[in-house]
């Protein structure tokens, strides 16, 4: 039995950690779109959004955004619902954090200027 526990532990330590992914959908002169797949207990790097965008909940959930100064905001994305977001103010950045036990999938359509 001990060897089984050791084997399971060894496999667990070798398993790659889940990461957020962007799956391109389309891009043209007016817009760019991707599907964000956000596994449980993952976070993005600090980034910013300079464009207007629509976000559609494919598999909804609670996504936390954390600003560079540590301010946390939770947004509940409902499956099948669309959301409009404006560009971030100049100089602001944030990271996205999935603190839940479920994968969140969002379709993003960003309008080019």
Q: Kindly report, residue by residue over 40-62, the tens digit of the pLDDT.
A: 999 999 999 999 999 999 999 99
Tell me the backbone φ, ψ of residue 75, rounded to 5 degrees.
-115, 125
Q: What pLDDT does residue 36 have?
A: 97
Domains in the chain: ranges and CATH: 19-111 (2.60.120.10)
User: Does the predicted TM-score (pTM) go above 0.85?
Assistant: no
DSSP 61: E
Whole-angstrom distance, CA of residue 4 vs CA of residue 6 = 5
Enumerate residues 6+ apart whose C-beta is below 8 A from 106.
35, 36, 38, 55, 56, 57, 58, 63, 77
DSSP string, 85-100: EPPPPTT--EEEEE-S
């Amino acid at each position: 039995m001990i060897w089984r526990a050791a084997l399971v532990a060894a496999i667990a330590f070798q398993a790659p950690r889940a990461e957020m992914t962007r799956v391109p959908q389309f891009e043209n002169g007016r817009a760019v779109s991707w599907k964000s797949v956000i596994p449980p207990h993952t976070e993005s790097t600090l980034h910013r959004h300079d464009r207007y965008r629509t976000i559609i909940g494919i598999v909804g959930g609670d996504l936390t955004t954390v600003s560079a100064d540590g301010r946390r905001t939770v947004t509940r994305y409902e499956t099948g619902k669309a959301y409009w977001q404006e560009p971030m103010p100049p100089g602001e950045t944030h990271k996205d954090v999935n603190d839940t036990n479920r994968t969140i999938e969002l379709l993003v359509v960003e309008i080019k200027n």
